Amino acid sequence: MKVRRSKRMAAGLTAVSLLLLAACGTETTAPAPGSQESKTIRIGYLPITHAAPLYLEQGLDKEGYEIELVKFGSWPDLMDALNTGHIDGASVLVQLAMRAKEQGIDLKTVALGHKDGNVVVSSQDVEAVADLQGQSFAIPSRFSSHNILLYEMLKREGLAYTDVNVVELPPPEMPVALAEGRIAGYVVAEPFGAASVVAGHGKVLFQSDELWPESICCVMVLRSDWIRENEELTGNVVEKYVEAGQLAEHKDAHAKEALGSFLNVQEDVLDLSLEWIHYDELKLDEASYRTLSDYLVEMGLSENPPAFEEFVDNRFIEKVLESR
């Protein structure tokens, strides 16, 4: 399936970047004075609501390690850093990590980033999926759950993927592109869907669980060499990550304050975004992974997706869950 990359409009990108991506850059928590020096693990992320457990883990007491969160502006830049070993892990689109694994980059998924929380947004004048025929529709990457959600939506409505003009856009550009009428809709990570809905430029056509129950989107991956060299610390990282996910699931003032440190987004946009997302079940199960792999093969995005046991390391999260 052919996807054409649209021309980016500098004004639109700048406007939304100021609104949604003025996050706080690289975040490093220093060891407490007098404490034994901790090992630093560098984790890449994009400033999106889906990475909430990473933000909240920063505020937890940690034993033997500190997290340096490294902010990226695009998935390709993040994957370049991950693939070359400039970062030790990342919160990333699962399909991009699977593709890297296929290409020989030794990564392991140790937890999900979130559950649900992807919405198909359209302009207000779109009454039905059929209205999208012949119009431009944006996704962040061919290798994303957002692309699969678009594919499934069109298939259910009797349309071919090629019946719409699929374009790849940076997530922060999508709300502006919709408001300006350059696209008829999009599906992407939060808070960019909520931004259009709150502004009144867009509406929700589908929630992700209506199209693909138990869908997988973002995952927490670590380089296998870091895991091998730091088995005990990996367990500590995952334990605190799960704890942070539970805190994020509360969606209370503390969680919103933590997210606000990384997302420069309006309160009502964040509130709506959090309504759609869950962080309390972060173990990647084999059945869901098999469904994902089948989609990638069906869509021609992968001929041989990594086997579950090659790509997923659930040892650490299972130990955490067993202790609860």
Examine the domain organization and report whether 223 and 109 are in the same domain.
yes
Amino acid at 240: K
pLDDT for residue 183 = 98
pLDDT for residue 188 = 96
Examine the domain organization and report whether 184 and 88 are in the same domain.
no
Whether the per-residue pLDDT at 14 is higher than 90: the answer is no
Mean pLDDT of 29-53: 77
Alpha-carbon distance 41 to 38, whole Å? Answer: 10
Whether the per-residue pLDDT at 166 is higher than 90: the answer is yes
pLDDT for residue 246 = 96
Examine the domain organization and report whether 286 and 173 are in the same domain.
no
Mean pLDDT of 15-20: 40
Whether the per-residue pLDDT at 34 is higher than 80: the answer is no
Examine the domain organization and report whether 290 and 164 are in the same domain.
no
Examine the domain organization and report whether 185 and 259 are in the same domain.
no
Domain region containing 159? 4-9+117-211
Mean pLDDT of 168-184: 96
Q: What confidence category does residue 323 fall into, taking pLDDT thresholds of 50, 70 and 90? A: confident
Mean pLDDT of 286-298: 97
Examine the domain organization and report whether 257 and 300 are in the same domain.
yes
pLDDT for residue 149 = 98
pTM strictly above 0.75: yes
How, if at all, do strands 136-139 and 165-168 pair?
parallel
How, if at all, do strands 39-45 and 65-71 pair?
parallel
Are 301 and 95 in contact, with CB atoms under 8 Å apart?
A: yes
How, if at all, do strands 277-278 and 115-116 pair?
antiparallel
pLDDT in tens, 114-136: 999 999 999 999 999 999 999 99
Q: Which of 190, 211, 232 is the last residue of a domain?
A: 211
Q: What confidence category does residue 324 fall into, taking pLDDT thresholds of 50, 70 and 90? A: confident
Examine the domain organization and report whether 269 and 130 are in the same domain.
no
Whether the per-residue pLDDT at 22 is higher than 50: the answer is no
Alpha-carbon distance 161 to 298, whole Å? Answer: 12
Whether the per-residue pLDDT at 16 is higher than 60: the answer is no
Are 212 and 75 in contact, with CB atoms under 8 Å apart?
A: no
pLDDT for residue 37 = 72
pLDDT for residue 36 = 52
pLDDT for residue 5 = 42
Q: What confidence category does residue 33 fall into, taking pLDDT thresholds of 50, 70 and 90? A: very low
Are 188 and 139 in contact, with CB atoms under 8 Å apart?
A: yes
Examine the domain organization and report whether 174 and 52 are in the same domain.
no
Structural domain tally of the chain? 2
Examine the domain organization and report whether 30 and 82 are in the same domain.
yes
Tell me the two tokens of residue 314.
Answer: 């659930």
Mean pLDDT of 9-27: 40
pLDDT for residue 15 = 41
Examine the domain organization and report whether 100 and 123 are in the same domain.
no
Tell me the two tokens of residue 178.
Answer: 């919709």
pLDDT for residue 276 = 96
Q: What confidence category does residue 27 fall into, taking pLDDT thresholds of 50, 70 and 90? A: very low
Tell me the two tokens of residue 123.
Answer: 């302009």
Examine the domain organization and report whether 314 and 297 are in the same domain.
yes
200 φ/ψ sector (left φ>0, alpha ψ -120 to 50, else beta)? left
Q: Which of 211, 236, 256 is the last residue of a domain?
A: 211
CATH of the domain at 176: 3.40.190.10
Examine the domain organization and report whether 89 and 176 are in the same domain.
no
Comparing 186 with 4, the larger pLDDT belongs to 186
Q: Which of 180, 211, 242 is the last residue of a domain?
A: 211
Percentage of the chain beyond pLDDT 90 is: 85
pLDDT in tens, 188-235: 999 999 999 999 999 999 999 999 998 999 999 999 999 999 999 999
